Structure 1
Amino acid sequence: MKTAQEIVTEYANRIGELEAKLSALTDENEALKKMFQNARSNGASGSSAILNDGQERDFYPSERHEILVDVLQDARKGLKDGSRRADVIDDLLAANPTNGEPKKRASQVKVILKGYRGMDEGIRKKLRALGITGNEQHRKHFLLSYFDDPRYTVTMTATGSDSGRGGKNLAGDMIRLFF
């Protein structure tokens, strides 16, 4: 039977071994992170990234991914089947599924602004849920921005027209600029 001192010594030795292993793995992890960041920033061949990150950040999860896949889908439409470009784009599209968030958001904007007659709390709340904010009235208009980014701003009339085209036109402007 082991004495209490022997058991404590065994556990202390085991803790020391595990701490040394943890330290070695932490150092290796940090080295690998640096290698990965360097490879991405230098565009090194052999890197798994097709494109390096730019300065833009996602306004919502996977936004930039969705935009790039959408651009690839548009580009693919004009390519001849069996061409190298078509094959590369088809391969990338197959490997990068999306959930269609920009199209969902565009549809929501169309529904929110259908028959627009004037800004009310219900419309404000629905737009805010999509990241469209800045509903302060300036004379007879509202300035709306996408995720508070002044680069993406549209002007919305405070009162809609009787023709119903105002809401459709505004939705189109927002979709082209925001999504």
Structure 2
Amino acid sequence: MKAWNRNVKIGIAFLVGLVMIFFGVNFLKGVNIFKSQNTYISVFDNVNNLNVSSPILVNGFQVGLVNSITMMQNDSMDFAVEIRLDKGFRVKKGSKLEFSSDFLGSSSVSLQNNPYTTEFLSPGDTILGTRAVGLMDGVARVIPKTDSIMSRLDSVSIALQTIATNPSWITAVESMSKTMTQLESSSVSLRKVMSDL
């Protein structure tokens, strides 16, 4: 009887541990299993830095999470992003999901609810997905122009260095310096002569 009692305690402890792991993992993911949610799909061409459990925000307020990201089997290499939104939040037709990421690598998805309609999407419908132009996208566009400018500046620097180290150029500059000195002395003597008149 003691062995059976001990085995029951071990079994109960094991089940309690499994339940705690289940709730702990879901808590760390940000999933509330007691709250009912609606699922929607959105399609993106680039999901760089988008992660499962990334927040879905409406005007900065979290209304859901990214549930899964899967590659679609089509020629354009698109990605289907499944999102779960709080059951009380209704998505209007024509709304869009805007995915953005910052230079530190964190990402968020903003739901832009269409203010011009009163019709709502049904759970399971597709929401238009777009990618916001972020700081890193702007930097990526500027880098090629910067490289072009740097190569031109390098060419100008080399040309100036070639001119400055050319012996004939150095001789010409020294000659100009002597000429300027002579002009100054001539100017002084000319003033003296003019003042004597």
Q: Which has the higher contact order (CA 8 A, sep 6+)?
A: 2
- The interval holding the TM-score normalised by the smaller chain is under 0.3
| Higher CA-based Rg | 2
Answer 1 or 2: which has greater strand percent. 2
